[in-house]
Structure 1
C-alpha cells in the first residue's frame, strides 16, 4: 500500500469532519451570503494570511455508481474547473467506490475532486466533494463559491463550508486573543452559542443574523466558528474563521 500524500491526508481529514456535517441540514434566511462578511472580517483582524479552504459537497440519495461513472464525473468536473495536471486515484470494493483527482487550477490553488459511492442492503448514496486549498494569497470567496454552486447544481443540493486561516507573530496573551475574537464577533454580529477556552486554545461557535446559511447544532442555530491557538513550533498564534463550522484540524 502506497503512503498517502499531504493533500490526500488533508482531504481525508476534511471528509472525516464532513461526515458529521452531512448529518446536519443547512438552512437559509433572507440575510446576506456568508462570503459577504467573512472575508472582510478576516482582513479587519490584521492577521497574516496563511491559507484558505473552501469545500463543496453534493449528496445524491438512492444511487450507487461504479468506478467507470465516478471516473467520468470526476474528469467532467475537472474539465469544468480547468484543472491542470490532474492525477487520478481510485479505491474500489464490491459495494464501495472512491475516485479522486488532485491537481492545480490556473490561479495556482490545489483542488481535489472526490466521489464516494456506497451501498449497504437497501441503502445507496453518492457524495461529490470539491476541496479548494490556497496558501499563497487570498482568493475572492464569493465568486468562487458561486462557481462551485453552479457546477454541482446538476448533481444535487450543494453545501459549502469556508475556512480562513491567519497568523500573528509570537505568543499572544490570552487577553489579546480574546480581544481579536471579540472584535471578529462584533464585526459579524455573532452571538456566542458555545465556547471552549483551555490552555492555548479558544474556540467559539456562534450565530449571526448577517449570514444567510446556518445549521442546527445541539438544538441551536450556528453559522460561525472562530478559534485561536498558539503554535510553539512556529512561534505563531493561529486564527481560524469557519462557516458554518471549522472543517480543518486545529
Structure 2
C-alpha cells in the first residue's frame, strides 16, 4: 500500500509539474512574440510603458497600501527604499508614490473608493532595457492578482525611425506586424501624419477588450513628428494608453 501511495503521489506531482511548466511557457509566449515582432520593425527602441488599473478590497490601513507599493517596486527588482510616499489630504483619500531608479520611472496612485476599497493606478516607464518585459509582466501580474480580482494591464513598446517614412513603408510595417502577431485588422484611422490600427491577435487572447461589437487586443500607431523629423511607432496590447 505504501508503494502504491508513493507511486500515485509521484505521478500526481509529475503531472502537476508538467502542467505548471506548460502554463509558464504559454504565459510567456505572447510576450516573446510581441518583442520579436517589435524588433522586426527595425525601429530604434525608445521606451516601453506599462499602465495598470485595479481595484483592491479589504484595505483597512495606509500600511497595506504602502506594502502593495513596495511589492510592486520589488517585483521590478528596484530598491523600495527610494519610494517617496505622500498623501493628498488628512483623510488619506489619495496616496501617491514615486520612484526613479536607473532606467525606471514608476508612479503609484491609490484613490479611496469606499471604506475598504481603493482604485490603484500604476504607471511604469523604462527607456533602456526591454528584453526582460516578459519577466516584468509576469511578476507584476502575479503580485497584482494576489490582491485583486479586477486587474487591467496595458503594455506599449515605442520606437523611432530617423526620417519620415513613405506611405508604402508604413503600410509594409503594419502588415508585417499583423502577420507576425497572427492578427486581423479591425479598424484603421489615418489623420495627417498619423495612422492607427486596432486589431485582434490570436496570440493575445488574455488581453481582449470589447470595441465596436468586436474584440481587440492589439493597437499599432505610426506618427511622423515634424518637430523632431522622426517617425515614431507604438505597438501596444490591448490598446495604446499614451498621448501620441
Q: Could you state the TM-score of these two structures normalised by the residue count of structure 1?
A: 0.76
Distance, in Å, in 2 between the alignment partners of 1:137 and 1:83 is: 14
Distance, in Å, in 2 between the alignment partners of 1:135 and 1:32 is: 21
SS of aligned partner of 1:34: helix
Partner of residue 197, structure 2: 204
Partner of residue 21, structure 1: none
Q: Where do 1:132-211 residues align within 5 Å? A: 132-157=124-149, 158-211=151-204
Partner of residue 247, structure 1: 241
Q: Where do 1:7-156 residues align within 5 Å? A: 34-60=30-56, 67=62, 69-79=64-74, 81-84=76-79, 85-92=82-89, 94=91, 96-104=93-101, 108-119=103-114, 125-156=117-148
Give the gaps of 5 or more residues in structure 1. 1-29
SS of aligned partner of 2:136: helix
Structure 1 or 2: more strand by fraction = 1
Q: Please report the RMSD computed on the Cα atoms of aligned residues, expressed in angstroms.
A: 2.5
Change in Cα spacing, 1:68 to 1:143, as seen in structure 2 (3 Å) is: closer
Alpha-carbon contact 1:33-1:212 (below 8 Å) kept: no
Give the C-alpha shift of residue 94 in structure 1: 4.8
Greater relative contact order: 1 or 2 (C-alpha under 8 angstroms, separation 6 or more)?
1
The count of aligned residue pairs is: 215
Partner of residue 18, structure 1: none
Give the gaps of 5 or more residues in structure 2. 1-25
Give the number of the structure whose alpha-carbon radius of gyration is greater. Answer: 2
